[in-house]
Amino acid sequence: MMIREVITAILLILGFIFLVFSALGVMRLPDFYTRLHSSGIGETLGIVLIGLGLIIYEGFNILSAKILLIMVSIFLVNPVGTHLIGKAAMESGHRPWEEEHKDASISD
């Protein structure tokens, strides 16, 4: 294997791992805001790593320039969209999840 293929494989695997953890976070986290945080960060980083892997594998040509343009737009738009969705939820009255704490001084 060439070094370019090894680097590509590492970046693709890392991107896939971030996307899987992002999906798991959306399924397992307790409320809307933590799920939004998980999906926003995990998907952005996963897609950027996969895009970098594809650019390295392809070499520099018109296809890699298109992939780079898509990566940059996702890198800029996804965090802004996540922020706007969270802000809209907060303004509409959606409250963050709060863990219930039992008071230790009260005995049953």
Per-residue CA distances from 105 to 37, 72, 101, 102 (Å): 35, 54, 12, 9
40: nearest Cα among 93, 81, 71, 5: 81
Report the distance separating Cα 24 and Cα 26, nearest Å: 5
Report the distance separating Cα 76 and Cα 101, nearest Å: 38
Per-residue CA distances from 14 to 18, 20, 88 (Å): 6, 10, 32
- What pLDDT, on the 0 to 100 scale, is given for residue 5? 94
Q: At what angle do helices 62-91 and 32-58 cross, to 10 degrees?
A: 170
Residues 6+ apart with CB under 8 A from 57: 4, 5, 8
Question: pLDDT 10s per residue in the chain (108 long)?
Answer: 799 999 999 999 999 999 999 999 999 988 888 899 899 999 999 999 999 999 999 988 999 999 999 999 999 999 999 999 999 998 998 787 777 655 555 554
